[in-house]
Amino acid sequence: MDRIRIRGGNRLNGTIAISGAKNAALPLMAASLLTEDTLKLENVPHLADISTMAALLAHHGVKIGLEGDAPNGGHRGRVMSFNAQTITDTEAPYDLVRKMRASVLVLGPLVARIGEARVSMPGGCAIGNRPIDLHLKGLEALGAEIELAEGYIAARAPKGGLKGGHIVFPFASVGATENLLMAACLADGETVISNAAREPEITDLAHCLMAMGADISGVGTDTLTVRGQKTLHGATHPIIPDRIETATYVMAVGIAGGEVELTNTRVDFLKSALEKLTESGLKITPTVKGMKVSRGQHRLKGVDVMTEPFPGFPTDLQAQMMALMSTANGASMITETIFENRFMHVPELSRMGANITVHGASAMVRGVKSLTGAQVMATDLRASVSLVLAGLAAEGETVLHRVYHLDRGYERLEEKLAACGADIERLKG
């Protein structure tokens, strides 16, 4: 298994091109199941999760084309095309769903277009018990019949297909909103989704669905109204930049110091995180292509953070923020409100010398002057990158094990950081 070795202490200087958003790409790929025509996606990141979703779609019978890098200096990412004219199998098997929870996003599109789907239940995962009850209740509100047996969810649309309905989520769920938004596009009549999640990746999905002929209003708000169509058609859609990757590199500059321009990205969907990072002492200036981030010799200052659904501070940045705050001047209270058990990076950061105490859903981080390199273990995607950030600032050598977690969501991370002066390399095997 690959490892990543980092020798800490180098400041970062240069340019990092941000990839397309993984969490936008996955539902967009699933949306290809809604039409017989070809859906072409631009700016697709090269990641393990994308390969998993592609394997699942191929299993359903989707024909997939890869056109390589698009223009614009090779930074527009890959272009992939998906043609789901013939669905040969409506089952999402255990092996693929177990690898990646987002596999459950094929459920809504398959039931809406084909009338049935059988999807393995995702079960618990490293960051807590993540049920999919909201996805299933939403489909039932559109008339689907759901049966749970042998570890699988079998969903069947009524005769004549799904019917529009009113879905009221008790709390915002990104995946459930996406699944139901896709399903509603082919349901008969109007669907209203209340208390919908508002993440930029959902807005991106809505824009793509509209380009495919869907009629959606309320995009970007917590109430989505969808007037179902008989069919959708093909489209070409550029995927938005990855806001989590963007902010991770902002924090890399925060912990290592230096000045880096992040290109092919946007500041507008990172407002709350960038505000916190500015408050802690990072200089962030918007540029034509994205933003410039710098920190001089001064230490950052501890700030408190609470994760919340968009537009609040993203849970997917909590681990990285904790690494950053572990070397800040003063204390920082970090509260996780979205997922239970999302502090698995704490013991690993502590092994590098961080001073962190967890009380329930909050972690008190008392900043230390310096961290020390250690052998550390990745436990999930964002936890693993937080250890890379810590390694950039630590004295000595850090070796990160179980790098496959990182490869699920960060494209060429070690190359991007090394190009800015970090001493980081992948150790193969």
- Segment 179 to 198, residues that bind ligand UD1, using CB under 6 A: 197
Provide the angle, in degrees to the nearest 10, between the axes of the packed helices 318-325 and 381-393. 20
User: Residue 355: beta bridge partners?
Assistant: 366
Region for residue 276 given its phi and psi (left: phi exceeds 0; alpha: psi -120 to 50; beta: otherwise): alpha
User: Which range, of 63-71, 130-138, 205-213, 371-379, touches ligand UD1 by CB under 6 A?
Assistant: 130-138
Q: Which residue has the tokens 């040969």?
A: 88
Q: Which residues contact 286 (CB under 8 A, 6 or more apart)?
A: 267
Binding positions for ligand UD1, 347-406, rule CB under 6 A: none
Among 34, 44, 97, 102, binds ligand UD1 (CB under 6 A): 102
* Binding segment toward ligand UD1, per CB under 6 A, in 91-99, 132-140, 252-260, 320-328: 132-140
What 3-state DSSP class applies to 313?
strand
336 near ligand UD1, rule: CB under 6 A? no
Stretches 57-65, 168-176, 252-260, 365-373: which one binds ligand UD1 (CB under 6 A)? 168-176
Does 131 bind ligand UD1 (CB under 6 A)? Our answer is yes
The single residue among 173, 248, 280, 398 that binds ligand UD1, judged by CB under 6 A, is 173
Q: Report which residue type is found at 209.
A: L
Is residue 175 near ligand UD1 by the rule CB under 6 A? yes
Tell me whether strands 223-227 and 215-217 are parallel, antiparallel or unpaired.
Answer: antiparallel
The answer to whether residue 106 forms part of the interface with ligand UD1 (CB under 6 A) is no
Q: Which residue is nearest to ligand UD1 (CB)?
A: 175
Q: Is 339 a binder of ligand UD1 (CB under 6 A)?
A: yes
Distances (CA, A) of 217 to 64, 223, 332: 30, 8, 40
Report the site for ligand UD1 in 6-25 (rule: CB under 6 A).
Answer: 23
Contact 418, 425 (CB under 8 A): yes
Instruction: Tell which one of 192, 240, 338, 365 touches ligand UD1 (CB under 6 A).
Output: 338
Residues 6+ positions from 418 with CB-CB distance below 8 Å? 424, 425
Over the range 155-189, which residues count as b (16 or more CB within 10 Å of their CB) and which as e?
bbbeeebbbbbebebeebbbbbbbbbbbbbbbbbe
3 state DSSP class of 81: strand
**In sequence order, what are the residues at sequence separation of 6 or more whose Cβ sits closer than 8 angstroms to the Cβ of residue 309?**
172, 174, 197, 198, 199, 338
107 binds ligand UD1, rule: CB under 6 A = no
Number of residues that bind ligand UD1 (CB under 6 A): 20
Tokens of 328: 């800040």
240 contacts ligand UD1 (rule: CB under 6 A): no
**Listed ranges 78-86, 173-181, 188-196, 372-380: which one lies at the site for ligand UD1 (CB under 6 A):** 173-181
Q: What is the 3-state secondary structure (H, E, C) of 107-133?
A: HHHHHHHHCEEEEECCCCECCECCCCH
Catalytic residues: 125
Residue 73 lies near ligand UD1 (rule: CB under 6 A): no
Shortest Å, Cβ 133 to ligand UD1 = 5
Q: Which of 28, 134, 334, 406 binds ligand UD1 (CB under 6 A)?
A: 134
Q: Does 299 bind ligand UD1 (CB under 6 A)?
A: no
If one asks whether residue 206 binds ligand UD1 (CB under 6 A), the answer comes out as no
Which of the stretches 127-135, 207-215, 218-226, 388-396 binds ligand UD1 when contact is defined by CB under 6 A? Answer: 127-135
In the set 67, 69, 133, 145, which binds ligand UD1 (CB under 6 A)? Answer: 133
Tokens encoding 232: 């959708």
For residue 56, give the 3-state DSSP assignment: helix
Q: Is 130 in the site for ligand UD1 (CB under 6 A)?
A: yes
Note whether 97 binds ligand UD1 by CB under 6 A: no
Q: Which residues bind ligand UD1 (CB under 6 A)?
A: 23, 26, 101-102, 130-135, 173-176, 197, 201, 315-316, 338-339
